Structure 1
């Protein structure tokens, strides 16, 4: 069961109209997703169904951006004033709205480097440790000298400003997120156009896993498309729902409702590879069909995706291997890389 993708504009305190994204088919909120519920637990500020759901309190290995860990960044954690930040960076136009605040374009004043600025909300104030999101970005995207070299965007700098975590990230120019990219080309891609996108996505996630990171919030909005070359290059952003990779079961989930793997709802647990492959399947379906394959918990658990008869047998096989309801029947990332449709 699918519905056409739609991004509506809404307005609320502290946001600009048009900055938030939603589908009309389901509801969501800024909270940890709970098994056995059609929507996340309601809190003060309901979010669009395409917004990552996070919690501020969680286990180190399974939580999102506001957990702290021993800092592996080359810079020691330190608190800065707003003036310190503004001495180095200029904040420019707003690009969008995330789960905990606005996202802005910016530039580094010393060399005019184009950057992306996000405010990830209040942190715990422990200056000897750094937020997990910082560690995940360093692992996945490398140190500042690695700008442009990895599938994940690089964290250029980060500040604790008045108890807010401000992340300064690489901003490829020109680029656009995959949601808007699809809108510019009519809502979806033909199979042969989608194939190189999926090949990049699979390789991207295999690389991120190899670096010890589980993203957990793969969706169109978290994929940047670099449009400055004949062949668009895809880049991964927003590790705020991510955690450290492990071989065992995860028993907490932070992510976007429409991309939640069915085993979370039915069993209350999931494995890293199976979760990522499920989300890759949802992404590919949206790229090909211009709609989500599932819109509610019930559909995710019990309904099969409506796969177009116009797709080739190889493409259909890959989709089915990604969107298998049983995680043990789902393809692994390694198997996806070897799949005939991508080779």
Structure 2
């Protein structure tokens, strides 16, 4: 089918498009937008040929570029050929300005949603509340899980305070605290003596740990200093027996906590017998049974740090258990200090039974070779 284009440009808004199409032996002349709509008329074959010759002569110099050219008037109306289907063409008006390149967007790209960040994931799952603690590596806040209001403790650790790392089975480098808490959760059966790790998020500037927050629990340090609290030797024995059991469990799992102290022990008092939970594994490491000669990071260092230039896991743990007992029984709330104890004669608590005094002095021996093992400590007469 023959298709002819005659484009007239003139006047401010009088651009007209005249399309002449052949339908059998008759043609239709239609005015597009130029002015008043013209009546249809039938054109005979002779008139049609004369009109065709005259029209072709006027537009011959533009014929080659007619499919891509545009004629614009003062009102910026643009006429362009957009596509061709078979032997027919469609002319469309675009009043938005210069024509833009067509681009194809697949359905998959259109439906892509931006992946939420770790911060958004954390905030969507947990609600953070009041500040409840401060340690050497980070801050701890109370909170709850949005889905079921489960109480949680949220620990924020700046990346520069993540001092120890571990390479997991997939070759990823993660915080040693995360690695050890995941190991303890996987290997613990029944009621665990450790605060469980529920979630963790490695963000751009900090590590966020979400842990179990037992109700009716406070640190042993706070418990000892609460108004009106005065623990008897028998009550302290219940706490120390559990602490020795926890230390034995860590030894079997080849884990060295390295910072056992009253601040890192939670005492849960919702039952008749206080329950001990050990927390804060930020200074911990895997025990390889070797002498460690580099810097000690714990709060209560054993004396061999200053005299033998090295320490091992089990004798250090036994010494720290003795320091916990010292703090628990000392009436003056005189916190144990290694240097003061061995240099200025920091006195032992008064009023202890003979078995308790023997237990404490065995733990605080100056040389690690003279201290008992954890098994020997558990079988000591005082804990029976």
Normalising to structure 1: TM-score of the pair? 0.70
- Name the counterpart of 2:214: 172
Q: CA deviation at 1:301?
A: 4.0
Aligned to 1:240, which of 271, 279, 282?
282
Q: CA deviation at 1:100?
A: 2.8
- Name the counterpart of 2:62: none
1:99–1:308 distance in 2 versus 1, CA, 3 Å = closer
Asked if residue 332 in structure 1 is aligned to residue 373 in structure 2, the reply is yes
Of 309-318 and 232-241, deviating more is 309-318
- Name the counterpart of 1:140: 184
Asked if residue 317 in structure 1 is aligned to residue 361 in structure 2, the reply is no
Q: What is the distance in 1 between the residues matched to 2:186 and 2:144? A: 20
1:272–1:296 distance in 2 versus 1, CA, 3 Å = closer
Asked if residue 130 in structure 1 is aligned to residue 177 in structure 2, the reply is no
Check the 8 A contact 1:139/1:213 in 2, yes or no. Answer: no
Q: What is the distance in 1 between the residues matched to 2:315 and 2:338? A: 20
Of 320-329 and 108-117, deviating more is 108-117
Check the 8 A contact 2:220/2:262 in 1, yes or no. Answer: yes
Of structures 1 and 2, the larger Rg is shown by: 2
Q: What is the distance in 1 between the residues matched to 2:345 and 2:192? A: 35
Q: What is the distance in 2 between the residues matched to 1:266 and 1:130? A: 33
- Name the counterpart of 1:114: 151
Check the 8 A contact 1:177/1:221 in 2, yes or no. Answer: yes
RMSD: 2.5
Check the 8 A contact 1:321/1:330 in 2, yes or no. Answer: yes
1:162–1:308 distance in 2 versus 1, CA, 3 Å = closer
Check the 8 A contact 2:326/2:349 in 1, yes or no. Answer: no
Check the 8 A contact 1:188/1:289 in 2, yes or no. Answer: no
Normalising to structure 2: TM-score of the pair? 0.63
1:294–1:229 distance in 2 versus 1, CA, 3 Å = closer
Mind listing any 5+ residue stretches in structure 2 that lack a counterpart?
Answer: 1-115
- Name the counterpart of 1:5: none
Q: What is the distance in 1 between the residues matched to 2:117 and 2:277? A: 29
Of 316-325 and 133-142, deviating more is 133-142
Check the 8 A contact 1:202/1:333 in 2, yes or no. Answer: yes
- Name the counterpart of 2:310: 269
- Name the counterpart of 1:196: 238
Mind listing any 5+ residue stretches in structure 1 that lack a counterpart?
Answer: 1-78
Check the 8 A contact 1:90/1:109 in 2, yes or no. Answer: yes
- Name the counterpart of 1:89: 126
Asked if residue 285 in structure 1 is aligned to residue 320 in structure 2, the reply is no
The structure that is strand-richer by fraction is 2
How many equivalent pairs are there?
Answer: 261
1:86–1:194 distance in 2 versus 1, CA, 3 Å = same
Q: What is the distance in 2 between the residues matched to 1:185 and 1:328? A: 39
- Name the counterpart of 1:214: 256
Identify which of structures 1 and 2 has the higher relative contact order when contacts are C-alpha pairs closer than 8 Å and 6+ apart: 1
Q: What is the distance in 1 between the residues matched to 2:355 and 2:133? A: 36
- Name the counterpart of 1:63: none
